[in-house]
Amino acid sequence: MAYFTRLSDTNFQATEHTGGAWSVHEQHIAPAMGLLTHLIELDCARRGSGFKIGRLAFDILGVIPIEEVQTEVQSLRSGRTIELVEASMLHNGRPALRARAWVIKPNDTSAIAGSTIRRIPGRDAMQRWDPTTVWPGGFIASIDIHRASEEPGRAAYWARAKHPLLENEPISPLARAASLFDIANGMAVRAAPTAVAFPNLDLTAHLFAAPRGEWLGFDTSVSFGADGIGLTSSTIYDEAGPIGTLAQILTVRPNTA
- The arithmetic mean of pLDDT across residues 167-183, rounded, is 97
Rounded to 5, what percent of the chain is helix, strand, coil?
A: 20, 45, 40
* Nearest-angstrom CA–CA distance, 68 and 7: 9
| Residue 110 counted as domain residue | no
Q: How many domains is the chain partitioned into structurally?
A: 1
In CATH, what number is assigned to the domain containing residue 58? Answer: 2.40.160.210
Select from 85, 98, 69, 67 the least CA-distant residue to 8: 69
- The arithmetic mean of pLDDT across residues 232-247, rounded, is 98
The whole domain housing 214 covers 4-105+124-254
| Residue 58 counted as domain residue | yes
| Residue 36 counted as domain residue | yes
Q: For position 255, what pLDDT does the model report?
A: 80
| Residue 112 counted as domain residue | no
Identity at 183, one-letter amino acid code? I
Q: For position 220, what pLDDT does the model report?
A: 98
Distances (CA, A) of 243 to 90, 216, 240: 30, 10, 9
| Residue 69 counted as domain residue | yes
- The arithmetic mean of pLDDT across residues 9-16, rounded, is 97
How does pLDDT run across 139-157, given as a tens digit for each residue? 999 999 999 999 999 999 9
User: At CB < 8 A and 24+ separation, what contacts does 71-78 make?
Assistant: 71/10, 71/11, 71/12, 71/35, 71/36, 71/39, 72/10, 73/39, 73/40, 73/42, 73/43, 75/43, 75/47, 76/100
Residue 71: count of CB within 10 angstroms of its CB: 19
Q: How confident is the model at residue 256 (pLDDT cuts 50, 70, 90)?
A: low
| Residue 149 counted as domain residue | yes
Q: How confident is the model at residue 47 (pLDDT cuts 50, 70, 90)?
A: confident
Average pLDDT along the chain: 96
- The arithmetic mean of pLDDT across residues 214-235, rounded, is 98
| Residue 116 counted as domain residue | no
How does pLDDT run across 91-143, given as a tens digit for each residue? 999 999 999 999 999 999 999 999 999 999 999 999 999 999 999 999 999 99
* Nearest-angstrom CA–CA distance, 85 and 101: 5
Asked if residue 257 has pLDDT above 90, the reply is no
| Residue 115 counted as domain residue | no
